[in-house]
């Protein structure tokens, strides 16, 4: 081979090698693309979970706005409210000390 064609051939080999390396591990390479696709799958699953939770919260809000039984249950459990005329019995919690 001539010196010129040998230099061109060597240049092409180096160029193809550099291009191959950058296409695999570069900023927009296949390795990064694989990581981004995996991250996308994780984020999609997280979005679905949040959408499900959002749907449940919307349902709960609607129940609290329109269902008096749900509202009463919440008032009794969270706020300790009672109806007029009801008698509330409060029992001490078992502390584990059993006097005998």
Write down the domain spans for the chain. 3-79
pLDDT at 61: 93
pLDDT at 76: 84
Confirm whether pTM is higher than 0.85.
Answer: no
pLDDT score of 100 more than 60: no
pLDDT at 83: 84
pLDDT at 42: 97
pLDDT at 30: 79
CA-based end-to-end distance of the chain: 107
Query: By three-state DSSP, how is residue 56 classified?
Result: helix
pLDDT classification of 1: cutoffs 50, 70, 90:
low
Buried b (16+ CB within 10 A) or exposed e, 80-93: eeeeeeeeeeeeee
**Gap between the Cα atoms of 79 and 76, Å rounded:** 6
């Amino acid at each position: 081979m001539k010196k010129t064609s040998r230099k061109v051939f060597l240049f092409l080999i180096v160029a193809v090698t550099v291009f191959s390396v950058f296409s695999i591990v570069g900023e927009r390479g296949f390795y990064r693309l694989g990581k981004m696709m995996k991250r996308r799958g994780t984020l999609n699953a997280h979005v679905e979970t949040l959408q499900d939770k959002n749907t449940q919260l919307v349902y709960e809000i609607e129940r609290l706005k329109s269902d008096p039984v749900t509202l009463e249950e919440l008032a009794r459990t969270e706020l300790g409210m009672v109806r007029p005329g009801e008698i509330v019995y409060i029992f001490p919690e078992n502390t584990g000390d059993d006097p005998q």
